Amino acid sequence: MIIGSNIMRYDSLPSTNTLANRLVKEGEPLEGTVIVAGYQTAGKGQGNNVWESENSKNLLLSVILYPEKISPENQIFITMFVSLAICDFIDSIFPGSKIKKPNDIYFGKDKMAGILIENGIIDGMMKSSVIGIGLNVNQTVFAPEIPNAVSLKMVTGTEHNIDSCLRRLLSALDSRYFDLLYGDQEALEREYTERLM
């Protein structure tokens, strides 16, 4: 197992991606290191967006990878494997997830997860990838400016154990990462395309 071999847990952080990027710049943490926070005071979304989440209700994490086998021209494959892994996890609980380009996972017409990927490219090579994931698990009330948010609890009607969800999500990510590095990338792309909304 690569993803999840080292897990760093925090009650609160400004942003898991910010810490992950700092760790990558300061040295080379073990590949597959996962930073998990119960709460983010400045969670980042795509562009200038923020990720809103109640304390200890959802999965907020970043994964550090060194996908040097992937060329910068093919960095979209990072998005593909992560998106499919999140769908694998959600569908293991309740099937019906879809991918909305560029970085959202939907269930029906509502958003369940967001992805923020920050790749480090040096001398034409993919040196690092910090993959931020926010996934709504047990939150049922969202801010009015987020009208189309949904969580696993809202879909299934039951509370979910956050630690169990984390383990299952990391297992799905690890499996898909292995597929990306050693499997059929064309098959990965086909599956990603079939999953698109």
- Residue 60: inside a domain: yes
Q: Distance of CA 63 to CAs 7, 9, 30, 79, Å?
A: 9, 12, 10, 13
- Statement: residue 63 has pLDDT above 80: yes
- Residue 167: inside a domain: yes
Cα 108 off chain centre by:
19
- Statement: residue 99 has pLDDT above 90: yes
- Residue 154: inside a domain: yes
Q: Convert the pLDDT of each residue in 155-180 to its tens digit.
A: 999 999 999 999 999 999 999 999 99
157: left (phi over 0), alpha (psi -120 to 50) or beta: left
Q: Convert the pLDDT of each residue in 15-34 to its tens digit.
A: 999 999 999 999 989 999 99
- Statement: residue 43 has pLDDT above 70: no
At 58, is the secondary structure helix, strand, or coil? coil
Mean pLDDT score, 25-51: 80
- Residue 138: inside a domain: yes
Q: Convert the pLDDT of each residue in 75-86 to its tens digit.
A: 999 999 999 999
- Residue 173: inside a domain: yes
Q: Average per-residue pLDDT in the chain?
A: 93
- Residue 1: inside a domain: no
- What's the CA gap between 133 and 114, in Å, rounded? 6
120 or 102, which is more confident? 120
- Statement: residue 52 has pLDDT above 70: no
- Residue 161: inside a domain: yes
Full domain range(s) for residue 49: 6-195
Radius of gyration of the chain (CA): 16
CATH number, domain at 53? Answer: 3.30.930.10
Domain total in the chain: 1
% pLDDT > 70, the chain: 94
% pLDDT > 90, the chain: 85
The whole-model pTM stands at 0.94
- Statement: residue 113 has pLDDT above 80: yes
Q: What is the pLDDT of residue 37?
A: 96
- Residue 106: inside a domain: yes
- Statement: residue 131 has pLDDT above 80: yes
